[in-house]
Amino acid sequence: MVGRIVQVAGRGRSRLWQEEWGGVRLWAGTLYQPAGMGNPRRALRRLERRLEGVGVRRLVLPWQFPHRGDLERLRPVDPSPLFQAAADVLVLEALRQARGQPQAGQVAVRGRHLSAQLRGTVERLCPLVRAVRIEVPGVGEDYARALHRQWGIPVLPPGAPVDVTAAFAPAPDAKGWVIPVYEDNPRPGGLELCAQGLTLPAREGAALLALLWERGQVSREQLRAVWRGQSPGTP
């Protein structure tokens, strides 16, 4: 069972209720924080115990939930696995914003390891973009040459300009519009993932969508990316 915490300013008696979002049944509970109270750690502990008592084991939380580090009994849903699985969806929307059409774009995909998610991203992008550079220590160049033989797309040398970088790990020197899919930020690179036909709450939407993806209740074909801010790093 999954729950969420609703923060309320002021004093009050915490309560629990059930609700449904996108087909997910969950328990919600209020966390009151009177003015000047400081960290409501004790109230959070009580709320965790109450949620645990009705079967809750995980929480869908807003990205900037200020008491995340104080949780002891319940585990937040991490949206970053969804962002990594759908990195190509995010990259293609960034290219539409930066270039007008993905086919004209050059993309870098960077990570520490040649993970299944990174490989999947590259192989889905190859037939849709102009060129791809794989930046993975020790294996990137060999993998890029294999992709060139398979797809015929150019292998970009180190330092060649790119429009978008999908970062599966911290990449402070990455070029172009950087989309960090290793974080739980609900808008990596200013882009927001959503699912066609689903309405989710704005604050917890990323975590709920990740949960639906994890459960197989959202398909890849439903996923869309929407630009929600200035395109960072675009030429």
pTM of the model: 0.88
What is the rounded average pLDDT for all residues in the chain? 89
Residue span of the structural domain in which 215 resides? 81-227
The angle subtended at Cα 207 by Cα 203 and Cα 209, nearest 5°, is 105
The angle subtended at Cα 59 by Cα 55 and Cα 60, nearest 5°, is 135
Which tens digit of pLDDT belongs to each residue from 172-193? 888 899 999 998 889 999 999 9
131 found inside a domain = yes
Q: Are residues 88 and 101 in the same domain?
A: yes
Grouping H, G, I as helix, E, B as strand and the rest as coil, residue 22 is coil
Q: Are residues 45 and 99 in the same domain?
A: no
Written as one letter, the residue type at 107 is V
Q: Are residues 86 and 14 in the same domain?
A: no
- Can you state the angle between helices 116-125 and 87-99, rounded to 10 degrees? 40
232 found inside a domain = no
Q: Which of 76, 94, 114 is the last residue of a domain?
A: 76
* Residue ranges of the chain with per-residue pLDDT less than 50: 231-235
Q: What are phi and psi of 27, to 5 degrees?
A: -100, 135
Give me the pLDDT at residue 235, please: 35
Q: Are residues 130 and 150 in the same domain?
A: yes
Q: Are residues 144 and 177 in the same domain?
A: yes
Which tens digit of pLDDT belongs to each residue from 85-126? 999 999 999 999 998 888 989 999 999 998 999 999 999 998
Give me the pLDDT at residue 230, please: 55
233 found inside a domain = no
Q: How many domains does the chain have?
A: 2
Q: Are residues 195 and 109 in the same domain?
A: yes
H/E run at residue 178: strand 177-180
178 found inside a domain = yes
Q: Are residues 21 and 63 in the same domain?
A: yes
